[in-house]
Structure 1
Amino acid sequence: MRLASRRLLTAAGVTRVLSLFGIVTAVGLLPWLSGRDPALTVLRARSAEQEPTREALDAVRQDLGLDAGPLSLLGSWASDLLHGDLGTSWVSGTDVLPSVVSGLQVSLALMGAAFAVAVLLAGALVAPVLVRGRRSAGAFAAMLAAVPEFLLATVALLVCGVWLGWLPTSGWQGPAYMVLPALALGVPAGGLLGRLVADALPAVLDERWVELWRGAGVGGARVSAAALRRVLPPLVPQFGMAAVGLTGGAVAVETVFAVPGIGRMALGAAKSQDLPLLQGAVLALLLLGLAVGALSALTRRRLLGPALRDASLTLPPARPVRTHPAIPSALFAVLAVAIGWGLLRDPYAIDTTNRLASPTGSHPLGTDGLGRDVLARLGHGAASTVGTAAAVCLLSLLVALALGFLPGVAAGAADIANALPPVIVGILVAAAAGPGTGGAALAVALISWPPLAAHAAALVQEVRASSFLMAQRAIGAPPLWILTRHVLPSVAAPVARHALLRLPGIALALASLGFLGLGAQPPAPEWGLLLDESRAYVERAPWAALAPAVALALLAGLAVSGASYAQGRNGTKGRQAVKEIPVGV
């Protein structure tokens, strides 16, 4: 057993190193992986009037070192990186390192404020559980956790900044400019943290030691502090993943509020093909994610103490959340009616005489900046978004089933994948292949398989250790027969249900990439793209922004209520499948 565990750790470590090396190599080779000619982009950025002749382009390539070949370019980039030199921006001609450091400082300040908001909100959600000893506001916390940061940022900008005028809506000039971005980032993270702790606390408070402490006259404050210390170690890795999620969400939030952080810098560098700046920003974000993961592991180790560091401390089974089946049914019915109604209309018909029209009988949700029917674009956008999400979900399921039989490989690659939010991967894919629906789908697929693979690996281990499988081996059943008749069917069905529950979250991730301009391109009626296009005229026609925003909120609610209903129906058996569902992709 000890030898098998050691082999598993060795395989995971080798895979982790190889995955990290592959990502760093891909970042270093971005100039060659890009589908567009960087020399042409740089020439236009330096001088828009200059003709892109062969001589001019060759001069730019020689200046940038693109004519030396990919291996020479990678070696030069890696050598400069080891000496702390990130190169020179192709567009501005300035050193990349000071720009990355400046952007990272802004992003760290924003993430610190957002994490403070998250902790305060989580404390407010957990306090009733500690006081009354039972679950409180679990569904509300799950709903907050499921709201995408870019959606919450847009709503906060519209309501608090535009309509009420309470707070500034763009820039980074003082503490007041930090409030709305920190709330947009911190509320979903706080909902996630609060939900995790609130779900685990009731079972811990029912443990025997709590009753003994209370019987001995120990105060409620000490019991609550001990219960939190009992709950936190197994949840610290989830806290680390929530902090990593802040780096991905910060890209969208910084874009909405024009915050000069490193996420917005990376997005702008990808769109302008300023690859040295993009390389520096992505490396900084990757290192930030890895540092957060290492910090969470160290924190868990310190919380466990010397006696338990080598032991596996797990929580007792959480009580299933009871959700009435009418809730997901109602949300699905509202979405289905809106989508079906919109599919009967033309999403591309332009009527410039009817631009930004208010909702009427002929246009139930109004029109956009080109006079196109918002309801029609909402319906057709749902069809493409959900269809793409279904394809990504199926691909993730197949990868997870394959890697479930290779737990060492899956564990090592999953650590690196968890350190890369979808937005960061989307930026890299867009820099290499250009923005588009296919690139967005690939980016989400690359990081959506780890929870499914972890679930599959756990089930494979459980099935292989079962007594009936030992009996099959004893009677001489062939390994292939055992695999296809027993192991694979026992694993595939639960993981497939898990993947189906992840479908709305994957659709939200695709919408977030579309919102940032990394997914579907105009005039495609994709939900995230619709929300991004409506920001330009949100003050004149707020209904054009509210329509996709409400649709995305309903989709998030459908993800939460569907998962909660499945967990409540399946009880303890369904807990393993549901606990991996990302409520804030």
Structure 2
Amino acid sequence: MTPHRGALLTGTLTRLSVLAAVLVAIGLLPWLADRDPALTVLRARYPGREATESALAAVRADLGLDAGPLPILRDRLTGLARGDLGTSWASGEAVADTVLPAFATSLTVMAAALLVTAAITAAACAPALRRAATGRPVGTGGIAVASFAALPDFLLATLGVAVFAAWLGLLPAYGFDGPANLVLPALAMGLPGGGLAARLGRDAIGHVAAEDWVRQWRTAGYSRRRIARGLLRRAAPPLAPQLAIVAVSITGAAVAVETVFAVPGLGRAALAAADAQDLPVLQACMLILIGFGFAAGLAARAGARRLAGPAADAAALPVAPPATGGRRRHLVWFACAAAPLAVAIIYGLARGGTIATGTRLEGPGLAHWLGTDELGRDVLARLGQGAWWTAGAALGACALSYAIALALGFLPRLAHPLAEAFNSFPVAIAGMLVVVVLGRGQVGAVLAVVAVSWPPLAAHAAALVARARTAGHREARLALGAGPGWMLRRHTLPLVTGPLAAHAGLRLPGMALGIASLGFLGLGAGPDAPEWGASLARSMPYLERAPLAALAPAAAMIALTLAVMAAVSFPRSARRHAA
């Protein structure tokens, strides 16, 4: 077996094992969750019936919970293997009658989102190909492209409802009645993926443009079109595996976007099933959503291998070098984004979020710079307090992800396949699983973000450990009598902890947006918490009357994203880069 086929087989088996573990965990939720599923089912089936012990016992007997976890788990897994999705606990109807139409709707929205992604990628990469064909430097696309990749789907969906539906009245905001209802969901799901694919595509084109054959072709007088085709053919293989990330992001975006726009898709069905503890429906939704992400990842890898050929190592190509110049522009971006956040935090600490009686949904004024919310609280003060909720939870998630990645970095055979499999989990799906077990709360949101944040850090840690263990001076120190403990403390850890901490810091804004997305979906902070995502969701019903109450947390998340993107992509000087 070739190394490539062995790696593909290992990745497939790992993905299947993780998927099976998720299905088993869902099957065990009645014995793991802090809520009694019999009570939830009783309220769903018989809303007016009193929750007596005899009524709950009857529901348990009907669901088969009295038999214990193993028989139920066995029956559910064998049924799924036969293609039988089971019967809904809440409605008593066949799960397939609910899930399959919802999946068809989600596929329609996902296909439209992929068209948006492809259009953005083509629009961003076409100028890069022209520049590379003529020998001019290729940048990464600037802060605008990077911001598209970093902005969360639920935020774009909220802004779409506010601008194009509520204010301009150009597009419908809710439902799924015709092609017009596809536009806003497709944009919300496709823009982040398009930004990511565009950034990766420009990086790959920039790297290939620096290869010797490009200069030789230009010297030989080849046409620009032919050089561009060669650049595209050479850049496509390393880009193909990364496109699996786009497919996974679109799969996860279905949960939030379908909830915002009331689209009867699979993501919305999964969220409703998690809230109702309807485990057969939740299992079927997870099987389809996670399986779709896994299949996309494997298909992308196989496609990359086919494009690259048997002798090519598509995954080994690095990204393009950092862009030079434009330092003043990046400083302006950073200042414009970071300064309002700092003002909001200081204002929030000074004013507090107390209720001001008689000023409910008030407009902006001298007393309340951004107006008041639905309970009469100062919007700007709540925004500043929410920064601590969101950023504090993100710091906790970052620390936990760092610790897990550092530990797994010394177990590369375990770290790489696990990281590859867990990297296919959107944060919304992890959030639903954690909420069913632990209930809603900020702790569950942190654990859900950790579950999807540690894989890239673990892969990086494993690479750093491998590099440290192959350093030339390591052999000399071992020859001088250095023991394993001394080598770990004085040699390996110093080479791993610093770069890994820097990597974790770069992912901190993404974790903060993940915390906010779970709060927006009702899977994180409580409904009255000042956390940005929860505040945004709470203000949506009052969008037309008090738009600033909803747009303030949205603007804060955009400012956080732009500030970090400006800091991360800040260009080094040409002299330093040349060195």
Question: Aligning the two structures, in what range does the TM-score lie when normalised by the shorter sequence?
Answer: over 0.9
Q: Is the 8 A contact 1:149 1:249 kept in 2?
A: yes
**Runs of at least 4 residues of structure 1 off by over 4 A?**
2-18, 566-574
Q: Is the 8 A contact 1:289 1:419 kept in 2?
A: yes
> Whole-Å Cα distance in 2 between the matches of residues 9 and 480 of structure 1?
36
Q: Which residue of 1 aligns with 2:454?
A: 449
Residues paired across the two proteins, number: 570
1:418-497 maps to which residues of 2 (within 5 A)?
418-497=423-502
The yes-or-no answer on 1:146 pairing with 2:150 is yes
The yes-or-no answer on 1:135 pairing with 2:141 is no
Q: Is the 8 A contact 1:365 1:544 kept in 2?
A: yes
> Whole-Å Cα distance in 2 between the matches of residues 465 and 8 of structure 1?
23
Question: What SS does structure 1 have at the residue aligned with 2:562?
Answer: helix
Gaps of at least 5 residues in structure 1 are 575-585
Cα distance per residue 1:281-337 (max 9 Å; x no partner): 1111111111111111111111112343xx455325512135544543543232111
Question: What SS does structure 1 have at the residue aligned with 2:317?
Answer: coil
AA aligned opposite 2:316: T
The yes-or-no answer on 1:233 pairing with 2:237 is yes
> Whole-Å Cα distance in 1 between the matches of residues 485 and 11 of structure 2?
26
The yes-or-no answer on 1:507 pairing with 2:512 is yes
Cα distance per residue 1:400-453 (max 9 Å; x no partner): 111111111111111221111010000111122211111111000011011111
Change (3 A) 1:267 1:385: same
Greater mean alpha carbon deviation, residues 4-13 or residues 153-162:
4-13
Shift of residue 216 of structure 1? 3.1
Change (3 A) 1:5 1:474: farther
Shift of residue 221 of structure 1? 1.9
Shift of residue 212 of structure 1? 2.1
> Whole-Å Cα distance in 2 between the matches of residues 3 and 180 of structure 1?
45
**Which one of 378, 388, 405 corresponds to residue 383 of structure 1?**
388
**Which one of 520, 527, 538 corresponds to residue 525 of structure 2?**
520
Shift of residue 463 of structure 1? 1.4
Q: Which residue of 2 aligns with 1:245?
A: 249
Cα distance per residue 1:81-105 (max 9 Å; x no partner): 1221121112221111231111111
Q: Is the 8 A contact 1:400 1:450 kept in 2?
A: yes
**Which one of 359, 363, 370 corresponds to residue 365 of structure 1?**
370
The yes-or-no answer on 1:338 pairing with 2:344 is yes
Cα distance per residue 1:151-182 (max 9 Å; x no partner): 11111111111111111111111111101110
1:286-305 maps to which residues of 2 (within 5 A)?
286-305=290-309
Question: What SS does structure 1 have at the residue aligned with 2:351?
Answer: coil
Gaps of at least 5 residues in structure 2 are none
> Whole-Å Cα distance in 2 between the matches of residues 568 and 142 of structure 1?
20
Change (3 A) 1:251 1:571: farther
Q: Is the 8 A contact 1:505 1:559 kept in 2?
A: no
Greater mean alpha carbon deviation, residues 452-461 or residues 513-522:
452-461
Question: What SS does structure 2 have at the residue aligned with 1:565?
Answer: coil
Q: Which residue of 2 aligns with 1:52?
A: 51
AA aligned opposite 1:321: A
> Whole-Å Cα distance in 2 between the matches of residues 118 and 5 of structure 1?
29
Alpha carbon RMSD of aligned pairs, Å? Answer: 2.4
Q: Which residue of 1 aligns with 2:417?
A: 412
Q: Is the 8 A contact 1:320 1:571 kept in 2?
A: no
Identity among equivalent positions (%) equals 50
Cα distance per residue 1:22-76 (max 9 Å; x no partner): 2221022122222111111111111221111111111111001111111121111
Q: Is the 8 A contact 2:305 2:314 kept in 1?
A: no
Change (3 A) 1:109 1:347: same
**Which one of 310, 317, 320 corresponds to residue 318 of structure 1?**
320
Shift of residue 460 of structure 1? 1.2
> Whole-Å Cα distance in 2 between the matches of residues 485 and 114 of structure 1?
50
Shift of residue 455 of structure 1? 1.2
> Whole-Å Cα distance in 2 between the matches of residues 348 and 331 of structure 1?
27
**Which one of 498, 511, 520 corresponds to residue 503 of structure 2?**
498
Question: What SS does structure 2 have at the residue aligned with 1:354?
Answer: coil
AA aligned opposite 2:232: L
The yes-or-no answer on 1:203 pairing with 2:214 is no
Change (3 A) 1:356 1:68: same
TM-score (norm 2): 0.94
> Whole-Å Cα distance in 1 between the matches of residues 194 and 89 of structure 2?
39
Shift of residue 484 of structure 1? 0.9
Shift of residue 202 of structure 1? 2.3
> Whole-Å Cα distance in 1 between the matches of residues 423 and 265 of structure 2?
21
> Whole-Å Cα distance in 1 between the matches of residues 269 and 576 of structure 2?
45
> Whole-Å Cα distance in 2 between the matches of residues 545 and 105 of structure 1?
32
Shift of residue 5 of structure 1? 11
Q: Is the 8 A contact 1:8 1:408 kept in 2?
A: no
Greater mean alpha carbon deviation, residues 281-290 or residues 199-208:
199-208
Change (3 A) 1:259 1:120: same
> Whole-Å Cα distance in 2 between the matches of residues 292 and 420 of structure 1?
12
> Whole-Å Cα distance in 2 between the matches of residues 195 and 455 of structure 1?
20
Question: What SS does structure 2 have at the residue aligned with 1:90?
Answer: coil
Shift of residue 350 of structure 1? 5.2
> Whole-Å Cα distance in 2 between the matches of residues 433 and 13 of structure 1?
30
Shift of residue 524 of structure 1? 0.9
TM-score (norm 1): 0.93
> Whole-Å Cα distance in 2 between the matches of residues 466 and 372 of structure 1?
58
> Whole-Å Cα distance in 1 between the matches of residues 341 and 217 of structure 2?
50
Cα distance per residue 1:343-381 (max 9 Å; x no partner): 222324252x22110011111111111111111211111
> Whole-Å Cα distance in 2 between the matches of residues 235 and 257 of structure 1?
32
